[in-house]
Chain A
Amino acid sequence: MTVSAAPTQATVKSETARAPVRKNRFWSWLIFVVGALYFLVPLAATFYWSLRAEKDKFGFEAYRRLFADTNFLPSFSESIVNAIAAILISLLIIVPTAYWVTLRLPKLRPVIEFITLLPFVIPAVVLVFGLIRLYSRPPLLLTATYDSSRILLVCVYAALSFPYMFRAVDNGLRAMDVRTLTEAAQSLGASWPTILFRVIFPNLRVALLSGALLTFAIVIGELTIALFMAQHTLGPYMANLTRSKVYEPSAMAIVAFAITWAAMGIIQLIGRGQQGQIAGGH
């Protein structure tokens, strides 16, 4: 029987009692507007520049040039393929792990949570330092060719996504009471593949998609690791672009921002605030 008072319904009589709230709201608005300005001005400035590629006129010339650049689409598509591969590997590893830990090995949970914290503890530049030292000489020579380096990069991305993926899947499993569902399915005679694909996955759709999109947003423009592994992906391409071109980088920043927005927007839409995320890897 809790009745929450909507402040807008305050009557004339209650003005005195509501006075402090009104004062607070002034500060709230002030903070919000100043904050919004801080975040929108750089975007607006970048957008402004991206429209100024042609002299004395606004237009989308910078975007046209960006997409016409012979290196842009190849590096973009390579990054997309890398991201998707990393997401698939991550899913293949994390879903059974999270499921198993929830159902069979709860004692392992602290260990796994600790390991999924490692990407936050090891800065990307340190990680790539160690990877190069470890895998650039026999017996573990993986950086010899471009393609073997690329495989290593994708695997590293998958590992970096563990924190987001594990948290998303774990939350999803907790929300659906995986134990009861599994036992119910078993008691009805379902086999393991049936349980996994007909019961668990459909209920985890939102969690899996959130984890995947978050991974995508982080991996797609990743610079540090790709740079030191000499990969021709979007991150190094963009870094190079900012040094060599004037207007294209602004168009590129807007496109990158739009991609991040799309990923986050979809997460918000499908999950309605389910994600508990920590960013990392800047």
Chain B
Amino acid sequence: MAYLTLSNISKQFGDTYAVQDFNLDVEKGEFVSFLGPSGCGKTTTLRMIAGFETPTDGAIALGGADITNKPPNQRKMGMIFQSYALFPNMTVAQNIGFGLRVRKDSKADIQERVREMISLVNLEKHAEKYPYQLSGGQQQRVSLARALAIRPDVLLLDEPLSALDAKIRVSLRAQIREIQRKLGITAIFVTHDQEEALSISDRIVVMYDGNVEQVGTPFEIYNFPTTTFVANFVGSLNTAVAEVTDPAKGLLSVNGVQFSSAAKMDGLQKGDNVRIAIRPERFSFASEVRKANVVDCRIENITFLGSVVRVHMLIGNSSFTMDTFNYPSLELPRIGATEQVTCSREAVLLLEEVRANGHEPKL
């Protein structure tokens, strides 16, 4: 039995579903991210776990006990808000001790725990400062310490890094993950930033429009997206409509250019239309001979992005981009030149079908 279970959760506001039929099992100590654009229902789901919203349907269980209708102040879930939500009238130490004070721990216990938490987030020098005297990153660390002080069963993080500068975002991200590992605490992390989700999570739940699109490890989500939305939202991507020419051998045709894919094509028949996806970095110039997928392309444009050079090219009549690492001896082709590029069979992903000729393909 999983530690935190969300079964068939739905949340309706008026006539619209913010979240629809959400299912998830979270293991103890796991770090799960909810990833999606704004309005996808990720925050609503988190707020239902925290108890700030009540599901219209479905149940939430923690450690086997149903908590669907438990008031938030009895759930023991530490929540971190995007706006930090530190109490402005309290010092750092008082903020951290708040949860312990309201449950009437002894003074000595509170002091001890607060000191422990302050050193956990490296704020020893700031214990007696007020929130307005701290930087955003420091405030969010206080917020983290405050949530952890009550030894919560689950740590909930609602876009905790979105209000911070890029550099602090990255370092605090690492700090959060490190602390979460050290304490072995179960964490749910809401973000719209795919890089954040990929770098920090054990598992990612990609959400869109109130629905779960895909659940998987960062590796799976990135390398094997199962829907167009996931493929597009996580990383950049080339997609094209392809016609199945030989399902047994995994052969497809994009405007007459043949591709070979390692994806399973059970249930597909010759002539079915599918959507394929290839990540830009999976292409390379065909300097060495490969078995599969060596195709001609016309170089349309070249964009220099620093560590990466992005090549815009036409394959058949479809536009593709290729990302290739930048190094000093790199020889870039002329714009307008015809070159050969290659990608492995595994790089050619199948998303969902576009139009099936009377068949229901299962992917």
The 8 Å CB contact of A13, one of B43, B47, B54, is B54
Q: Which residue of B lies closest to A10 (CB)?
A: B54
Interface of chain B, main secondary structure:
loop
Given A1-B38, A17-B71, A9:B54 Cβ within 8 A: no
B39 touches A6 (CB 8 A): no
With the chains together, A5 CA to B54 CA distance in Å?
10
Chain B residues, Cβ within 8 Å of A3: 13, 18, 43-44, 47, 53
B301 within 8 A of A: no
With the chains together, A5 CA to B43 CA distance in Å?
13
A5 touches B40 (CB 8 A): no
Given A1-B39, A1-B43, A17:B13 Cβ within 8 A: no
Q: Which residue of A lies closest to B57 (CB)?
A: A13
With the chains together, A13 CA to B55 CA distance in Å?
8
Q: Which residue of B lies closest to A2 (CB)?
A: B43
B56 within 8 A of A: yes
Chain A residues, Cβ within 8 Å of B14: 6, 9
A1 touches B53 (CB 8 A): no
With the chains together, A14 CA to B39 CA distance in Å?
23
Number of chain B residues whose Cβ lies closer than 8 Å to a Cβ of chain A: 19
Chain B residues, Cβ within 8 Å of A5: 13, 53
Given A3-B13, A3-B18, A17:B43 Cβ within 8 A: no
Given A3-B18, A6-B13, A17:B40 Cβ within 8 A: no
B119 within 8 A of A: no
- In whole Å, how far is B25's beta carbon from the nearest beta carbon of chain A? 22
With the chains together, A13 CA to B70 CA distance in Å?
11
- In whole Å, how far is B314's beta carbon from the nearest beta carbon of chain A? 38
B99 within 8 A of A: no
B13 touches A1 (CB 8 A): no
Chain A residues, Cβ within 8 Å of B40: 1
B42 within 8 A of A: yes
A9 touches B69 (CB 8 A): no
- In whole Å, how far is B19's beta carbon from the nearest beta carbon of chain A? 10
B218 within 8 A of A: no
Question: Which of A1, A6, A10, A11 has the most chain B CB atoms inside 10 A of its CB?
Answer: A1
Q: Which residue of A lies closest to B51 (CB)?
A: A17
A13 touches B69 (CB 8 A): yes
With the chains together, A42 CA to B125 CA distance in Å?
59
Chain B residues, Cβ within 8 Å of A11: 54, 56
- In whole Å, how far is A5's beta carbon from the nearest beta carbon of chain B? 6
With the chains together, A6 CA to B47 CA distance in Å?
15
Taking CB atoms and an 8 Å cut-off, the chain B residues in 18-68 that contact chain A are: 18, 38-40, 42-44, 47, 51, 53-56, 68
With the chains together, A11 CA to B10 CA distance in Å?
13
Taking CB atoms and an 8 Å cut-off, the chain B residues in 46-100 that contact chain A are: 47, 51, 53-56, 68-69, 71
Chain B residues, Cβ within 8 Å of A6: 13-14
The 8 Å CB contact of A16, one of B42, B56, B69, is B69
- In whole Å, how far is A20's beta carbon from the nearest beta carbon of chain B? 9
A17 touches B38 (CB 8 A): no
A9 touches B43 (CB 8 A): no
- In whole Å, how far is B156's beta carbon from the nearest beta carbon of chain A? 14
- In whole Å, how far is A24's beta carbon from the nearest beta carbon of chain B? 15
B69 touches A17 (CB 8 A): yes
- In whole Å, how far is B244's beta carbon from the nearest beta carbon of chain A? 39
Chain B residues, Cβ within 8 Å of A17: 51, 54, 69, 71
With the chains together, A17 CA to B13 CA distance in Å?
17
Chain A residues, Cβ within 8 Å of B38: 1
A14 touches B42 (CB 8 A): no
With the chains together, A5 CA to B12 CA distance in Å?
10
Chain A residues, Cβ within 8 Å of B42: 1
With the chains together, A160 CA to B54 CA distance in Å?
54
Chain B residues, Cβ within 8 Å of A1: 38-40, 42-44
B13 touches A14 (CB 8 A): no
Q: Which residue of B lies closest to A20 (CB)?
A: B71
Chain A residues, Cβ within 8 Å of B54: 10-11, 13-14, 17
Chain A residues, Cβ within 8 Å of B56: 11, 13
Chain B residues, Cβ within 8 Å of A14: 54, 69
With the chains together, A13 CA to B56 CA distance in Å?
8
With the chains together, A93 CA to B12 CA distance in Å?
55
Chain B residues, Cβ within 8 Å of A16: 69, 71
Taking CB atoms and an 8 Å cut-off, the chain A residues in 1-45 that contact chain B are: 1-3, 5-6, 9-11, 13-14, 16-17
With the chains together, A230 CA to B184 CA distance in Å?
82
With the chains together, A16 CA to B74 CA distance in Å?
13
With the chains together, A1 CA to B162 CA distance in Å?
12
Given A1-B38, A3-B43, A3-B53, A9:B13 Cβ within 8 A: yes
A-B CB contact pairs (8 Å), 8 listed = A1-B43, A1-B44, A5-B13, A5-B53, A10-B54, A11-B54, A13-B54, A13-B68
Known contacts A5-B13, A11-B54, then 5 further A-B pairs from the complex at CB < 8 Å, ordered by chain A residue? A1-B40, A2-B43, A3-B53, A9-B14, A14-B69
The chain B residues found within 8 Å of chain A, CB to CB, are: 12-14, 18, 38-40, 42-44, 47, 51, 53-56, 68-69, 71
The chain A residues found within 8 Å of chain B, CB to CB, are: 1-3, 5-6, 9-11, 13-14, 16-17
A-B pairs, top 9 by smallest CB distance, nearest first, are: A14-B54, A1-B43, A1-B38, A3-B44, A17-B54, A16-B69, A1-B39, A17-B71, A3-B18
